[in-house]
Amino acid sequence: MKNSNLKRIDLLQVYRGLAAILVLFFHGSVILSQQFNQQEFFFNIGGVGWIGVDFFFVLSGFIIYYVHQNDIGHPNKIKSYILKRFIRVYPLYWTILICKIVALFFINYGNSTYDLSFLSSLKNISLYPQKERLLNVSWTLSCEVFFYIIFGILIVVGYKRFLPLFILWTTGILINSVWFIESFQGIPILNLIFNTINLEFLLGGLIAYIISTQKITFKRGLFFNYLATFLLALFLTMYQSQVIDDGTGIMWAFAFALLILGSAAVEINKTIKIPVFLVYIGNASYSIYLTHGFFVSNIAKVMTKLNSSVVTSPPLVINAVALMIFTLTIGLGCLVYSYIEKPLITLLRAQLLPRKLT
């Protein structure tokens, strides 16, 4: 199956930004609740922000298949694929990781202790799964890299030869989802391989396959968007009412998959004018994602030192302060993107990706 006329879908970039902001609200609410002694922010909407990770994973599965579908079954494309994926993930991650290590010597992280042994450091650098990490959010990057490896195997061997491995792998995931295998939790690499989160990447890939092989009309795209919006609102209501809990990621992933399917169909069929700043925030989503914890924590510390009374302020004032901190964090993440991530990627692509590989 070939599709050489891939259309850029800007809505997906907007969704990447939205996913990053959801995670920011989740982690930011936790951090500020500790520093401001406030139990709830924004009516606890931030408490469901963890679904941003599920959104990210479905988006990643979609984007990887959508962009690299023509490489499948062509082993000569693997070098370009590996270099592109490496450049996308590791350079900025290593930059932020180094900053975190340096910060450990100057910033008080309370009772937190970090393992800086050679083996642990090597695992942090390579994103090899482990229980304790220098960057908490890096566990999601380990999942991303593993999916990249699986997709790389698909590129090399093609659909038919990949099928037996795919069946074995997905069977293990499904067995683990139904019959919880406790030993997997004690062995990080097995937990990574058979984690049900992998189904979210596969769901995104399936949606990309449907978009690439089926003509989905504009009206059907709108229908999928409406259905996804209804499901997300329903799940949010159920979550806030404690009918469902944090272990329902695949439910949210299904709704996000419908949203992506509908949005992709709508934009492929009709040109949509999307505000440039929303696309820009989407482009900066990786920088925002990697840096948001550091910025929220330290901005809050500075504010409490400058004005300690903020801790005892009424809830309305504290929520306004939290919103200001989150907005500033997004802005700083965008600066990291513009002045570190983007130049770094441009430089490395020019050096490592000759034109014949692009």
pLDDT in tens, 25-44: 999 988 888 887 766 666 67
Specify whether 192 is located in the same domain as 239. no
Global pTM?
Answer: 0.92
Specify the pLDDT at position 306: 81
Give the residue carrying structure tokens 């910060």: 103
Specify whether 203 is located in the same domain as 88. yes
Q: Over the range 238-247, which residues count as b (16 or more CB within 10 Å of their CB) and which as e? A: ebeeeebeee
pLDDT in tens, 137-163: 999 999 999 999 999 999 999 999 999
Task: Flag whether pLDDT at 2 surpasses 60.
Answer: no
Give the residue carrying structure tokens 């709830």: 40
Do residues 149 and 201 touch, judged by C-beta distance below 8 A?
no
pLDDT band at residue 181 under the 50/70/90 scheme: low
Task: Check residues 40 and 300 and name the one with the higher pLDDT.
Answer: 300
Residues near 110 by beta carbon (within 8 Å), at least 6 away in sequence? none
Specify whether 234 is located in the same domain as 251. yes
Class of residue 117 by CB neighbours under 10 A (exposed 0-12, middle 13-18, buried 19+): exposed
In a domain, 61, yes or no: no
Specify whether 267 is located in the same domain as 307. no
Give the domain extent around 259. 218-272
Q: CA angle, 82 as apex, 77 and 85 as ends, to 5°?
A: 125
Specify whether 142 is located in the same domain as 86. yes
Q: Over the range 39-66, which residues count as b (16 or more CB within 10 Å of their CB) and which as e? A: eebeeeebbbbbbbbbbbbbbbbbbbbb
In a domain, 63, yes or no: no
Residue ranges of alpha helices (H) inside the chain are 10-35, 51-68, 78-103, 118-126, 138-178, 182-186, 188-193, 198-213, 218-240, 249-269, 276-283, 285-306, 315-336, 342-352
pLDDT in tens, 64-116: 999 999 999 999 999 999 999 999 999 999 999 999 888 887 766 655 677 78
Question: Where does a domain end: 272, 293, 310?
Answer: 272
Question: Where does a domain end: 249, 272, 295?
Answer: 272
Specify whether 42 is located in the same domain as 76. no
User: How much is the average pLDDT of 234-249?
Assistant: 86
CA distance 319 to 304: 14
CA distance 98 to 291: 12
Specify the pLDDT at position 5: 63
Structural domains of the chain, count = 3
CA distance 328 to 296: 9
How far CA 57 is from CA of 19, 46, 141, in Å, comes to 10, 19, 10
Question: Where does a domain end: 176, 194, 214?
Answer: 214
In a domain, 58, yes or no: no
In a domain, 292, yes or no: yes
Average pLDDT, the chain: 89
Specify whether 164 is located in the same domain as 210. yes
Residue ranges of alpha helices (H) inside 36-77 are 51-68
DSSP three-state, residue 232: helix
User: How much is the average pLDDT of 248-266?
Assistant: 94
> In degrees to the nearest 10, what's the CA dihedral of 295, 299, 301, 304?
-160
Specify whether 92 is located in the same domain as 125. yes
